[in-house]
């Protein structure tokens, strides 16, 4: 049977919006040496908004209309932001065919025989879209912490959309307090290097792994585990394998999410600092046991 102190710790955790799914979660959490944060939806609010357009072979209106028409099929936060911007402007979206999502990369569909693609510049470049004339502009937007996505029709660049997502207010303080406890920190994201670096500096995270595809996140955690006992903090469906790979998977829970099934610890109140509460309670419960 579980020691009384663990039961008591679990009650205290719940009061702070932290759900410990197993007694083992306490045991593992108090021995953690490194916390790895996902960026989008974890260190950031996860509600990006369209901030800038760079029209190339289309007007701003056409660029937004076509991008939103494809993104309407996607659940990704970036996709929702694009569709919301189109709705905000009262744009009626044409219906696309053959929608396809490529996790960590972008989306594709057909519209009246034309092949549309929306996604990261690196993904579209790998599909043969030429970015050379726009590269300086992309670099500039990315170094402001913006995520640049591109839209193409039949391999021709229609233009760029730059989206911004705000840092969670308690992210930097949480990272600082983890360091004070002797716990190292990393940021892992599918996003580009420049935006990742911008956010890493803003929150004070020690180490950044950018452009990590969803399928590679678990392998990256495994590599970090050669050096330390790792807790992974994430939110998306994409993060599930990484949450399972880590000694402790910590998920922001907001419903019937796959990530919740894969995590040992669930944060119910969207506060990053709940990671500190969970850690403190796991230490406290341990002391009470001995």
- Is residue 119 close enough to count as binding Mg ion by CB under 5 A? no
Nearer to ligand ADP, 36 or 280 (CB): 36
Q: How many CB atoms lie within 10 A of CB 184?
A: 18
Nearer to Mg ion, 153 or 198 (CB): 198
Q: Contacts with ligand ADP: how many residues (CB under 6 A)? A: 23
Q: 268 near 74, Cβ under 8 Å?
A: no
Nearer to Mg ion, 38 or 85 (CB): 38
- Is residue 236 close enough to count as binding Mg ion by CB under 5 A? yes
Q: From CA 165, how far away is CA 147, in angstroms rounded?
A: 8
The one of Mg ion, ligand ADP, none whose footprint includes residue 189, by CB under 5 to 8 A per kind, is ligand ADP
Active site residue 154: no
Q: Are strands 49-55 and 230-234 parallel, antiparallel or unpaired?
A: unpaired
Q: From CA 171, how far away is CA 32, in angstroms rounded?
A: 19
The one of Mg ion, ligand ADP, none whose footprint includes residue 118, by CB under 5 to 8 A per kind, is ligand ADP
Which string of x and - marks every residue 163-192 that binds ligand ADP (by CB under 6 A)? --------------------------xxx-
| Bridge partners (DSSP) listed for residue 159 | 55, 151
Structure tokens given for 21: 């799914």
- Is residue 134 close enough to count as binding ligand ADP by CB under 6 A? no
Nearer to ligand ADP, 186 or 238 (CB): 238
Q: Which residues contact 209 (CB under 8 A, 6 or more apart)?
A: 186, 187, 188, 189, 196, 220
Catalytic center residues: 38
């Amino acid at each position: 049977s579980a020691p009384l102190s663990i039961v008591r710790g679990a009650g205290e955790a719940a009061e702070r919006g932290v759900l410990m799914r197993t007694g083992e979660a306490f045991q593992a959490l108090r021995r953690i040496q490194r916390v790895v944060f996902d960026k989008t939806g974890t260190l950031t609010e996860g509600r990006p908004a369209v901030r800038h357009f760079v029209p190339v072979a289309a007007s701003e209106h056409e660029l937004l209309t076509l991008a939103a028409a494809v993104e309407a099929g996607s659940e990704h936060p970036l996709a929702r932001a694009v569709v919301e911007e189109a709705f905000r402007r009262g744009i009626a979206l044409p219906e696309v065919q053959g929608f396809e999502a490529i996790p960590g990369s972008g989306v594709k569909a057909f519209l009246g025989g034309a092949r549309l693609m929306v996604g990261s510049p690196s993904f579209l470049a790998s599909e043969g879209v030429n970015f050379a004339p726009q590269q300086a502009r992309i670099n500039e937007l990315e170094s402001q912490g913006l995520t640049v996505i591109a839209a193409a029709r039949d391999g021709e660049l229609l233009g760029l959309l730059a989206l911004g997502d705000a840092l969670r207010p308690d992210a930097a303080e949480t990272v600082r307090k983890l360091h004070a406890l002797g716990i190292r920190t990393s940021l892992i994201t599918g996003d580009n290097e420049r935006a990742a670096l911008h956010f890493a500096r803003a929150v004070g995270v020690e180490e950044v792994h950018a452009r990590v595809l969803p399928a590679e996140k678990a392998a990256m955690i495994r590599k970090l585990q050669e050096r330390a006992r790792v807790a992974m903090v994430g939110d998306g469906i994409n993060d599930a394998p990484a949450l399972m790979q880590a000694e402790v998977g910590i998920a922001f829970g907001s419903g019937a999410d796959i990530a919740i099934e894969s995590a040992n610890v669930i944060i119910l109140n969207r506060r990053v600092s709940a990671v500190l509460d969970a850690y403190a309670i796991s230490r406290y419960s341990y002391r009470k046991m001995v």
